[in-house]
Amino acid sequence: MAREAWGRWGAADEAGAPNRIGREQVRLAASLVRTGQVVSLAQPLSPASPVPKHRAGMQHFMGRDGGDYAAGAKRPGGFQFAEDTVVLPLHLGTHMDALCHAWCDDHLYNGFLGSTVRSTTRALRCGAEKLPPVTTRGLLLDVVALRGGPLPGDASIGREALQAACARIGATPGEGDAVLIRTGWQEAQQPGAEVDFTREPGIDVEAAEWLADSGVALVGADNYAIEVLPFPPGTVFPVHQRLIRDYGVPLLEGMVLKPLAEAGGGVFLFVAAALPLVGATGSPVNPLAVL
């Protein structure tokens, strides 16, 4: 298998494609701001947030609340406070995949061994703390607008569809861009209904390679896999393998993109930062589009 980005930024690099974002990309992105409107692209998180069955859901505990004072807790000078603890899988809701999240043939991005991801020490290479903050030009490739509605589950999005979405906004992916793909998968979910994480519209390998070869720093989408599910016969997460492992492109999954589309956001300032969780395979994020 080809390893297109291995060694590009040095043998020790663990950041991958976000290295493509330099000061010039940041300045260009900042110049795109026109109205100052800020759009959050994240899902709200709660214990009710949907999650694939192989993952635990979110747990939220109050450590100090109003009940403690009702039971007689001290309130020096009248001061009272509340605090809480959250336990959650890192690949829940809107989240960024670190480069240690997926690999194949016993090697991570840049040739690091898969054995460096351990249950006792977490990921020794390519953990979430190695992902730099992303401030760059964002492109919304709105396949929903092209197709006239949310795509059905298992609909494959190819290179030509992405190019048509680019033509619609008058921009093409370039060095250091963050490309966000609206499939409508999340919008099509019915409130209270069980979410089927095994059937999702998403990009195919050719589309993924076209984006990576364009020099993008990050690829995001409003589904949980970025790529189409079920996988093509004889493959397992082929887009994850190519983008994360071979090109070093982090994936931003579970985004909320309808409000951005409704606000007319096609090309914009994009900001996102993973929590610097040492050795983590991913991180919850609150990505922002500034119009």
For residue range 264-285, list pLDDT tens digits in order: 999 999 999 999 999 999 999 9
Q: Are 192 and 224 in contact (CB under 8 A)?
A: no
What pLDDT was estimated at residue 1? Answer: 46
| 8-state DSSP, 241 | I
By CB atoms closer than 10 A (0-12, 13-18, 19+), residue 193 is exposed
At 209-245, the pLDDT tens digits run 999 999 999 999 999 999 999 999 999 999 999 999 9
Residue 59 three-state SS: strand
For the chain, give the percent of residues with pLDDT over 90: 90
What are the residues facing 118 on neighbouring strands?
Answer: 122
**Contact yes or no for 223/200 (Cβ under 8 A):** yes
Q: Is 262 helix (H, G, I), strand (E, B) or coil?
A: helix
DSSP state of 210: H
**DSSP reduced 3-state for 236:** coil
pLDDT tens per residue, range 71-125: 999 999 999 999 999 999 999 999 999 999 999 999 999 999 999 999 888 999 9
| CA pair distance 136, 134, nearest whole angstrom | 6
The pLDDT of residue 121 is 87
Domains of the chain: 17-51+90-290 (3.50.30.50), 52-88 (no CATH)
pLDDT(151) > 70: yes
The confidence score (pLDDT) of residue 2 equals: 58
- The residue whose two tokens read 């990309």 is 25
SS3 assignment, position 261: helix
